[in-house]
Amino acid sequence: MKRRRHSDQLKAKVVIEALRGVDTVNEIAKCHEVHPLMVTKWEKHVVSLLPSLFSRRTDRERDEWKQREAELFQEIGQLKYELDWLKKKAALFCE
C-beta of residue 20 within 8 angstroms of C-beta of residue 48: no
Task: Return mean pLDDT, the chain.
Answer: 90
Output the pLDDT for position 60.
78
Query: Which residue has better confidence, 14 or 94?
Result: 14
H helices present in the chain, as ranges: 8-20, 25-32, 36-53, 57-94
| Same domain, residue pair 51 and 86 | no
Mean pLDDT score, 32-46: 95
User: Residue 21 belongs to what domain range?
Assistant: 1-55
The total of structural domains in the chain comes to 2
| Same domain, residue pair 5 and 49 | yes
How confident is the model over 42-88, as pLDDT tens digits? Answer: 999 999 988 877 777 677 788 889 999 999 999 999 999 999 999 98
| Same domain, residue pair 2 and 42 | yes
| Same domain, residue pair 43 and 2 | yes
| Same domain, residue pair 40 and 5 | yes
Mean pLDDT score, 7-26: 94
